[in-house]
Amino acid sequence: MTRKQKRMSVVLAGLAFLGAAAGLTFYALGQKASYFYMPADLATASVPPGQRIRLGGLVEKGTIVRGQGATVAFSVTDKQKSVKVTYTGILPDLFREEQGVITEGAFGPDGVFVADSVLAKHDERYMPKEVADGLKAKGVWQESTN
């Protein structure tokens, strides 16, 4: 093997290694992606049970039901559609009716969204970006000018 051939084989082996590393990285990141949906978006999307997504909107008034232990059931709405959600765990202190919320989890076989995390807004002027953008696009929410 000549010197030029050795150099070329080292360069090709390096490129193959970098290509494999990049491919594995993108594959791993693709598996961790969870897509954001508003309740009305779910009517047109085909989300199979068990696929992780983020569901955002407002906590529907009058739907919070506390169950046994730390289990809570409530509905998330965008004022057009509602989705029933169950969550077992400690809710954020600022979780309440008609406030912005993002839940992360998957739909169960019964069609109820089973959340494993719940994020609520942190003060009276803040709305999670995905929720605010979705509600603004539907004409339901406007930013306060304070």
**DSSP readout, 121-140?**
-SSTT---HHHHHHHHHTT-
DSSP codes, 54-108: EEEEEEPTT--EE-STTEEEEEEE-SS-EEEEEEESPPPTT--TTSEEEEEEEE-
Residue 67: the pLDDT is 83
- pLDDT class of 145 with cuts at 50, 70, 90: very low
pLDDT tens digits, 91-100:
888 888 888 8
Contact 146/125 with Cβ under 8 angstroms? yes
Bigger pLDDT: 138 or 142?
138
Q: Convert the pLDDT of each residue in 11-38 to its tens digit.
A: 999 999 999 999 888 777 665 556 788 8
